[in-house]
Amino acid sequence: MTQTILHIDASARTAGSTSRQLTASIVEKLGGDVIRRDLTAAIPQIDESWVTANFTPADQRTEAQKNALALSDTLVEEIKSADVLVIGVPVYNFGIPAALKAWVDQIARAGLTFKYTEQGPEGLLQGKRAVIALATGGTPVGSEIDFASGYMRHIMGFIGITDVEIVAADRLMADAEKAMAEATAQIAALAA
């Protein structure tokens, strides 16, 4: 059976982006049907109208509220349709790009991607896999100043995706050739 891959890129650079190069290689390695989401096409920040609509029961939403959630609904459906998420994460100033954070805010929705229980939040999208392609200029992935990989693992787990693999091309400004060789080896080792 062919798997469906949700291919997400968050780099502000469309040409010469290491994270985009990595995600393209990962998608090629994994193979399957691809849903493409480029976050350089504006993902709006959530605002008061979005929050109000989100907390209004679905059967009571006005047309304006349905419209406020339309993109979010589409983004959630993309994840639900995918077996594997491949997410490109360039590290900007020790964190994820604002466009990726906006995507996270749009898809982390109580009742759709997680629910609250007496034991705490429970992710509703179990059984999926995520491969996170991290590219950093100087931040060593896994170090105490790497806030991006832990955050992305946490967000994936929060919505129920606990099978998370990191492919890292880190410290590119120190030794780009070595970083890319290590990332290429990690991609080659991925199970299809």
| CATH code for position 126 | 3.40.50.360
Cβ-based neighbours of 35, under 8 Å, separated by 6 or more: 4, 5, 6, 7, 78, 81, 82
Strand partners, 35: 6
Q: Which amino acid is at 4?
A: T
Q: What is the pLDDT of residue 31?
A: 96
Q: Which residues of 28-54 are buried (b: 16+ CB within 10 A; e: fewer)?
A: ebbebebbebebeeebeebeeebeebb
Whether the pLDDT of residue 41 is over 90: the answer is: no
Helix axes 18-30, 172-189, angle to 10 degrees: 10
Whether the pLDDT of residue 90 is over 90: the answer is: yes
Domain range spanning residue 59?
4-189
User: Token digits for 86?
Assistant: 């491949």
Mean pLDDT of all residues in the chain? Answer: 96
pTM of the model: 0.96
User: Token digits for 37?
Assistant: 């989401």
Asked if residue 159 lies in contact with residue 113, where contact means CB atoms within 8 angstroms, the answer is yes
Asked if residue 131 lies in contact with residue 190, where contact means CB atoms within 8 angstroms, the answer is yes
DSSP letter for 89, please. Answer: E
C-beta atoms surrounding 141 within 10 Å: 20
pLDDT classification of 1: cutoffs 50, 70, 90: confident
Whether the pLDDT of residue 173 is over 90: the answer is: yes
d(CA 165, CA 144): 19
Structural domain count of the chain: 1
pLDDT classification of 148: cutoffs 50, 70, 90: very high
- Dmax over Cα atoms in the chain, in whole Å? 56
